[in-house]
Structure 1
Amino acid sequence: MDQIPTKTLAEVYLKQGDLRKAYGIYKILYDKDPSDPEIQRKLSELDQEMNPSHSSAQPLPRSREEKIRFLERWLAHIREREKG
């Protein structure tokens, strides 16, 4: 059974950590309606997350434990940036 591309399906993929599938869904939606600001924002965010500009980027973690460590480091980095 084929999946119907929707924002909801893209969000499900995001919550599951499947950025590539989420990006693919948002790209299909963008092609249908390039004026939708939410889709534009999501594509931009996903593009930055999947293709970081700094060369020290690590590959995305695969195991549950690696994902937890990755997200903990990411959260710590965000908190540091908020402090200024």
Structure 2
Amino acid sequence: MPHSKQEVLDHINGVLIELFEIDKEKLVPEARLYDDLDIDSIDTIDLLIELKKFVGKDIDADAFIDARTIDEVAEIIHKM
């Protein structure tokens, strides 16, 4: 059964808190991964690995090239 977009957002936020120790207050949908949260390309790969476990299928990293915000990442995952 597919996850709702809110479930995906909640999971992404949980991963960002757990793996990258980002303050919960910073985790708003419009937060920019690189600029606001200091998530670099290596961190992005770790995030994608966790999201793959969550959705149970392979995730094409190229799909995320243009994703800049938490909301954009959640939208891409939700549409899979």
The two structures have a TM-score, normalised by structure 1, of 0.29
Whichever structure has more helix as a proportion of its residues is: 1
* Higher CA-based Rg: 1
The two structures have a TM-score, normalised by structure 2, of 0.30
Greater RCO (CA < 8 Å, at least 6 residues apart): 2
